[in-house]
A and B are shown apart, each in its own frame.
Chain A
Amino acid sequence: MGSKPDDDYDYLFKVVLIGDSGVGKSNLLSRFTRNEFCLESKSTIGVEFATRSLPIDGKTIKAQIWDTAGQERYRAITSAYYRGAVGALLVYDITKTVTFENVERWLKELRDHADANIVIMLVGNKSDLRHLRAVSTEEAAAFCEKEGLSFIETSALESTNVELSFKQILEEIYGIVSKNRMASEEGPSASVPKGNTIAITPGGGDDSSSASKSKSKCCS
């Protein structure tokens, strides 16, 4: 394939960024992948893509991140991208209660369209706006405990916990994948062709690779 060095990786994980419009999904992504933040970045239309590699446990993990548009009208388009995703960062804005209240609807979206074993992390963004906080850390943490989600608060603006949030979810995915791999040496992660994502269920690789390899699915 003639890969450049930074194209080398041991694992490729597809992760989606979801959540209400304006909570800062695109800025979390640009902070993580390019260390950039833009106060007035344009709204995401449909789905946008970025990538970054991280070392975890001596392995190179490449995160392929799909940043989705938050507006409800786009759900039909964006939910198609959940397929094959092994992780989801579900983002809300700590200064906007409604974006936290909508988290349940987003979880339902994931249940309806994503792999049942997808790793979900709830991300309370804009933690720099302390004086405007409307959702307490405790409330969100309690919710996550109940739902079995990981939880973190971030500030894409101040670059707080952004790296950590991605790192944690990738570690969690890696943990599951490597456990699966030990359980089944013939599992899908034993040999992953480039361009394909890994499924987190043993033997579930077919679905995810067909998602990224499928042809002529413009109207699916």
Chain B
Amino acid sequence: MHSGATRNMPRVVASGRLVAGSAAVAASPSPALGGVPSSDAMEEAQGAHAGLTSDASLGGESSHVSPSESRRAFGGGAGSAEPSDSTGLGSDQLTQAGGVDGATGEGAARNQMTDFEKSRLAKFEKLLNTDVVDMNALKALSWNGVPHSLRPTCWRLMTGYAPAKAVRRDAALERKRQDYRDYVSELWQISDEDRTEEERKTFHQVLIDAPRTAPECPLFRDEETVQLALRRMLYIRAARNPASGYVQGLNDVATPFMLIFYGEQVAAAQEARGVPHQRDWYAGSLEQAQATLASLSEEALLTAEADAYWSLCALLDGVQDHYTAAQPGIQRLVYRVRELCFRVDAPCCHHIEDNGLEFLQFAFRWANCLLLREVPPICAFRLFDTFLAEGSHGLPSFLSYCCAALLLNFSKQVLEMEFQDMVMFLQNLPTQDWKENEMSMLLSQAYLFQAMFSGAS
């Protein structure tokens, strides 16, 4: 993948941006930044993200990295970030095409959309309403974020869980959902004696971890439905993939899928009753979340759970050895992150290691939880849009670019810290109030690293 991007690599090197690293990438805007591109031009540039618009250059690619955004995302940190439209670029339009915060019903939400969002949504709909979805086009478009209402559909397609061929889709999904129901009765609803010792350990571990999953999100405080579903999914996946089994942190990885697929059922039920759907329906009180869940049928709940399960499995397919004994995949990934960071920002890396801090000490969790511990749900969705567009087999390498981008995003702060402050800072990054915009910036930076270094290391 990314042949287009790789071909552009010499341009990046030739411009000297490579040498000076991320700051330079941001600070030396390409000519494309001079003007305000039209929506269509933007789309073209974004297509380049997935390397599928072969003639889109990195110059075009940079066009959505506006100078003001770049400064705050790469230099000053995100803490003080205020969305700025001063460039006229409409950064929010670019990165929040996925949704209108707190949308009040799909129709109303559509009315609140900008022209850009509408045209983007239309592009998705056009792609999806075909007999055979063009998966390359869908991934290229999704790389930059999927409109929130279309996430369930797009995610199912990109994971390969739903077939691209429309006529086959319903039957295939029904079969997979039935498979999951069978797993529940064959693997979950059995007595303890029928489990292997390893399975008993897993059973016990997910029992401990389910209640401490996403504690900041009230929906996950619901034991009867949500925590039970989470335990079942994690347990069944482990039972069916004994080599990797369940590793703490996979519960975090399951959460975006659960929020999206429960959300789909909630939206459908609300629409049927004529109740406006809130995009952040899961963020209210526990009582509200439970009332919402109670309005769903058993079947709807199980459908959401099965969809989340299969999507989780598909995503993890590409990172199996991240969770096997001694976690070799993660060790390798962290090694690659270190290497990348040294190439981009050696002073920062030397500073880190001269202080006695090892990359594994902070990047392990990033890799193990696919960055989900570091960002709020709204960013997790955006992150998964891109992960799924990359495909499960592109995930380990793309994740390493993301981790490098995350660290170097804060290199200025890190350079001013000594060991202790540095560890604590890197283990509690000020990313919890990030919005989709910051997430998109990080992904763009990761994309640039990928374009520069893929195949080179």
Contact = CB atoms under 8 A, between A and B. Distances in A.
Nearest to A98: B204
A50 B205 contact: no
A134 interface: no
B399 to A, nearest CB: 15
A21 B205 contact: yes
B358 A214 contact: yes
Interface stretch (A70-78, A144-152, A183-191): A70-78
A40 B424 contact: no
Interface string A11-47: 0000000000110000000000000001011111111
A21 B207 CA distance: 11
A51 interface: yes
Contacts of A194: 418
Contact of A195 (B213, B252, B323, B355): B355
A69 to B, nearest CB: 6
Contact of A49 (B221, B338, B424): B424
Contacts of B373: 42, 45
A75 to B, nearest CB: 8
B335 A219 contact: yes
Nearest to A45: B365
B331 to A, nearest CB: 5
B336 to A, nearest CB: 9
B326 A218 contact: no
A212 B355 CA distance: 8
What is the interface of chain B mostly: helix, strand, loop, or mixed?
helix
Interface size class of A (residues with CB under 8 A): 35 or more
Contact of B212 (A43, A48, A64, A73): A43
A80 B211 CA distance: 29
B356 A212 contact: yes
Contacts of A40: 211-212, 215, 221
A45 B424 contact: no
A73 B358 contact: no
Interface string B305-339: 00000000000000000010111000110110010
A77 B360 contact: yes
A92 to B, nearest CB: 14
Contacts of A69: 248
Contacts, number: 97
A51 B355 CA distance: 16
A46 B211 contact: no
A113 interface: no
Interface centre among B205, B252, B323 (most CB of A within 10 A): B205
Contacts of A1: 418
Contact of B209 (A43, A195, A216): A43
Contact of B364 (A21, A51, A77): A77
A69 B427 CA distance: 14
Contact of A41 (B215, B365, B419): B215
A213 interface: yes
A217 interface: yes
Contact of B424 (A38, A50, A214): A50
Contacts of B209: 21, 43
Contact of B249 (A43, A51, A216, A218): A43
Nearest to B331: A219
A45 B248 contact: yes
Contacts of B247: 71, 73-74
B330 to A, nearest CB: 8
Given A42-B213, A43-B251, A49-B424, 15 more contacts: A21-B205, A38-B215, A40-B215, A42-B373, A45-B249, A45-B365, A46-B361, A46-B365, A49-B423, A64-B420, A73-B323, A215-B353, A217-B358, A218-B338, A218-B359
Interface of B: 201, 205, 208-209, 211-213, 215, 221, 245, 247-249, 251-252, 323, 325-327, 331-332, 334-335, 338, 353, 355-356, 358-361, 364-365, 368-369, 373, 418-420, 423-424, 427
